[in-house]
Structure 1
Amino acid sequence: MSSDAGKVGGYPFGDEKGKAAERAQGGGSLRHVANWISVSRIVLLVVLVGLVFTYENRMAFLILYLLSGLSDVLDGYIARRTHTESNFGARLDSVADLLLTAVILSACFSWLGEDLWTFLPWLCLIAGIRVANLVIAACKYHVFAIIHTWGNKLTGLLLFVAPLFIGLGALALLWPICLIAAVAAIEETLIHLTSPTLDLNRRCLLGRSAVHR
Structure 2
Amino acid sequence: MPLNLATRITLARLLVIPVIVAVLSIDPSSQHRWWAVGLFLAAALTDWLDGYLARRLNQVTDLGKVLDPLVDKLLILVPLLLCIEWGEVPAWSVALILVRELGIASWRIHQSQIQGASVWGKAKTVSQILAVTLLLAPLPAPWHVPTMMVYGGAIALTLISGWTYLRSS
Give TM class, smaller chain. Answer: 0.7 to 0.9
* Structure 2 Cα separation of the partners of residues 129 and 95 of structure 1: 13
Query: Where do 1:110-125 residues align within 5 Å?
Result: 110-111=85-86, 113=87, 116-117=89-90, 120-125=91-96
Query: Where do 1:48-127 residues align within 5 Å?
Result: 48-56=20-28, 57-111=32-86, 113=87, 116-117=89-90, 120-127=91-98
Name the counterpart of 1:17.
Answer: none
Kept in 1, the 8 Å contact 2:93–2:155? The answer is yes
Kept in 1, the 8 Å contact 2:100–2:158? The answer is no
* Structure 2 Cα separation of the partners of residues 178 and 92 of structure 1: 23
- What is the alpha-carbon root mean square deviation over aligned residues? 2.8
2:47 is matched by which residue type in structure 1?
A: D
Q: Cα distance, 1:35 vs. partner?
A: 1.3
* Structure 2 Cα separation of the partners of residues 173 and 126 of structure 1: 14
2:102 to 131, 150, 160: 131
Q: Deviations over 1:3-41 (max 9, x none)?
A: xxxxxxxxxxxxxxxxxxxxxxxxxxxx81111111111
Q: Cα distance, 1:121 vs. partner?
A: 4.2
Percent identity at matched positions? 22
Could you tell which deviates more after superposition, 121-130 or 149-158? Answer: 121-130
* Structure 2 Cα separation of the partners of residues 102 and 161 of structure 1: 13
Name the counterpart of 2:123.
Answer: 154
Provide the TM-score with structure 2 as the length reference.
0.73
Find the structure with the greater CA-based Rg.
1
* Structure 2 Cα separation of the partners of residues 54 and 123 of structure 1: 23
Q: Cα distance, 1:122 vs. partner?
A: 4.1
Question: What SS class does the counterpart of residue 149 from structure 1 fall into?
Answer: coil
* Structure 1 Cα separation of the partners of residues 52 and 16 of structure 2: 19
* Structure 2 Cα separation of the partners of residues 121 and 102 of structure 1: 13
Extract unaligned runs of 5+ from structure 2.
none
Q: For residues 152 and 104 of structure 1, do their structure 2 counterparts lie closer, same or farther at Cα, with a shift above 3 Å needed? A: farther
Q: For residues 37 and 185 of structure 1, do their structure 2 counterparts lie closer, same or farther at Cα, with a shift above 3 Å needed? A: same
2:5 corresponds to 1:43:
no
Question: What SS class does the counterpart of residue 103 from structure 2 fall into?
Answer: helix
Larger % of helix: which? 2
Q: For residues 180 and 37 of structure 1, do their structure 2 counterparts lie closer, same or farther at Cα, with a shift above 3 Å needed? A: same
Q: For residues 188 and 77 of structure 1, do their structure 2 counterparts lie closer, same or farther at Cα, with a shift above 3 Å needed? A: same
Name the counterpart of 2:149.
Answer: 172
Q: Cα distance, 1:137 vs. partner?
A: 4.5
Extract unaligned runs of 5+ from structure 1.
1-30, 195-213
